[in-house]
């Protein structure tokens, strides 16, 4: 089969067409490769910039607000009656009768218990007999003295009538001595009467003390004796009853920590609760702050006494109570959380992110940021908080006042109400 030949002129034209098409294809491929490279570089730059943006720290903020600040001091103690009396016995003996029991109301002078009176009555009778004997001795001594006095008077009269011849001087001296002895015997007898009367009075007092009486008007808190029990008061008076004068008014005795005692003063108000009434709060007022220190387990504290109204008798002696003492009240002051005063930013203050104007600058490695320098320690009243401006923490100096442990009063500085202050760094975005 014979193939038709192409004329030489047609071959040249066809070759030119093929070469022209191949050039356009090469140029297209070069443009496509350049566009792909540019797209890749743009994507890489976007990822790098986004990673840097996402690596920026996030913060939790809270607005500075105006409110009331109440500073309280916490102290724990026990409730006690204002006047509590332990009633005992000065005498030893056997308890014969007990007339009262726990929670009984008693009056001053009321008999609470009585000891066995047999021996005491015998002692009184014996003392009365001794007194009677002593009084009889006085009469006898008086008679003897009167007799000696009369004899001496006769001797003196005889001597006067006889001109001093009779009686003799020895007889006259003996009569005078007899009178002095009689007068001394009379004085001794009178002293014995006084002694016997004192013994009788002492025995009668012991007989009266055998009746244990209440020294106050109040209520019996504890009865510690039973009929038939032996009371031994040899070295100290045993406690038989514990009385409280008035439970409508009580005292809460608390221990104030040494770090708080400087803020606690007389007449400050307080409130407390007890486990028996968990939903109820009681009012109290400080009446005394002690100067004497108490050390328990290495902790130093000072005693304070709070007066409590217990008109409904819902509180009982010995109950444990935790009191909240109001030491300071500020109304309408600027407050910030204490966490804002403790906050320190993770980056150096004032260092901004540095971005170049071109993609090449964004892709170029940058020198490491300088390590953040810790802020200089500020004085207690001159401190600073941090606020967010353009996404960066900026320090704001403030002057602080009182604090309740959670919020702090701002008494000066550039901080204003409503400004968002940083309280915590939350880390980078996920």
Contact 414, 378 (CB under 8 A): no
**Residue owning tokens 């000696």:** 148
Comparing CA positions, the residue from 315, 329, 412, 337 lying closest to residue 70 is 329
Residue 95 has, within 13 A of its CA and on its CB side, a CA count of 22
For residue 367, the model assigns a pLDDT of 52
Helix H or strand E segment including 426: strand 420-428
Percent of the chain with pLDDT over 90: 58
What average pLDDT does this structure show over 375-392?
70
Judged against a pLDDT cut of 50, whether residue 169 lies above it is answered with: yes
pLDDT band at residue 34 using 50, 70 and 90 as cut-offs:
confident
Do 264 and 72 contact (CB within 8 A), yes or no?
A: no
Cα–Cα distance, 267 to 288 (Å, whole number): 8
Confidence of residue 67 (pLDDT cuts 50, 70, 90): very high
Torsion of CA 351, 357, 359, 362, to 10 degrees: -10
11: Cα separation from own chain's centroid: 115
Binning pLDDT at 50, 70 and 90, where does residue 198 land? very high
More confident residue, 317 or 368: 317
Say which residues have a Cβ less than 8 Å from residue 239's Cβ, sequence separation at least 6. 86, 87, 88, 224
Name the residue with higher pLDDT: 355 or 119: 119
Instruction: Indicate yes or no: pTM above 0.75.
Output: no
Q: Region 389-418: what's the mean pLDDT? A: 88
Paired tokens of 313: 């008798």
């Amino acid at each position: 089969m014979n193939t038709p030949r192409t004329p030489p002129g047609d071959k040249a034209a066809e070759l030119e067409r093929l070469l022209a098409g191949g050039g356009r294809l090469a140029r297209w491929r070069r443009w496509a490769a350049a566009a792909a490279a540019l797209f890749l570089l743009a994507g890489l730059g976007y990822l790098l910039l986004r990673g840097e943006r996402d690596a920026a720290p996030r913060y939790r903020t809270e607005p500075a607000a105006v409110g009331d600040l109440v500073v309280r001091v916490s102290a724990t103690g026990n409730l006690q009656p204002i006047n509590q009396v332990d009633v005992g016995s000065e005498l030893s003996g056997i308890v014969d009768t007990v007339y009262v029991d726990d929670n009984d109301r008693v009056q001053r002078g009321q008999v609470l218990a009585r000891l066995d009176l047999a021996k005491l009555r015998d002692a009184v009778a014996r003392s009365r007999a001794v007194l009677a004997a002593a009084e009889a001795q006085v009469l006898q001594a008086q008679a003897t003295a009167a007799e000696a006095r009369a004899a001496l008077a006769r001797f003196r009269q005889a001597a006067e009538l006889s001109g001093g011849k009779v009686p003799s001087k020895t007889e006259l001296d003996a009569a005078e001595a007899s009178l002095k002895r009689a007068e001394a015997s009379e004085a001794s007898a009178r002293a014995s009467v006084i002694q016997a009367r004192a013994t009788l009075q002492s025995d009668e007092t012991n007989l009266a003390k055998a009746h244990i009486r209440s020294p106050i008007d109040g209520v019996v808190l504890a009865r510690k004796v039973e009929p038939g029990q032996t009371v031994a008061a040899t070295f100290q008076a045993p406690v038989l009853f514990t009385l409280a004068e008035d439970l409508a008014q009580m005292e809460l005795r608390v221990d104030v920590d040494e770090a708080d005692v400087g803020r606690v003063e007389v007449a400050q108000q307080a409130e407390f609760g007890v486990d028996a009434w968990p939903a109820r709060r009681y009012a109290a007022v400080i009446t005394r702050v002690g100067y004497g220190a108490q050390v328990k387990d290495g902790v130093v504290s000072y005693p304070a006494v709070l007066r409590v109204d217990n008109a409904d008798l819902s509180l009982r002696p010995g109950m444990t109570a935790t009191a909240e003492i109001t030491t300071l009240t500020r109304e309408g002051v600027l407050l910030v959380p204490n966490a804002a005063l403790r906050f320190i930013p993770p980056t150096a203050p004032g260092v901004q992110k540095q971005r170049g104007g071109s993609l090449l600058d964004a892709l170029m490695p940058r020198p490491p940021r300088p390590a953040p320098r810790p802020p200089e320690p500020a004085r207690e009243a001159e401190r600073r908080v941090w606020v967010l401006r353009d996404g960066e923490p900026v320090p704001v100096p403030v002057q602080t006042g009182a604090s309740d442990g959670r919020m702090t009063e701002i008494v000066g500085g550039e901080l204003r109400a409503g400004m968002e202050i940083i309280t915590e760094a939350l880390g980078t975005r996920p």
